[in-house]
Amino acid sequence: MQSLIIHILNEDPIIGEVEELPSPTDSNISVRNPRRRDGKDLGYIDAEVSQVIWPMNRVMFIEVLPGEEDEEVITFIRE
């Protein structure tokens, strides 16, 4: 699962998970566990909904959040 921040036209950004990143030819995006950035439920979606499909023509852009394998940060320590 990959976590995303999805920016939808005229809406606040939404965080959710997808099985795989959408390709440029996809006409919609299916998101699991949609929620606001602060973790609260979306007011316009029923609280029991666990998956939503949005048409890509409503999506302005998508931010990909780092996964567990991406979180390994290598830093240099000056002694």
pTM exceeds 0.85, yes or no: no
The answer to whether 43 touches 35, Cβ cutoff 8 Å, is no
- 3-class DSSP state of 49: coil
d(CA 32, CA 49): 9
CA-based Rg of the chain, rounded to a whole angstrom? 15
pLDDT tens track, the chain, 79 positions: 899 999 999 989 999 999 999 998 999 999 999 999 888 888 888 888 889 999 999 999 999 988 765 555 556 666 6
Which residue shows structure tokens 């005229």?
Answer: 10
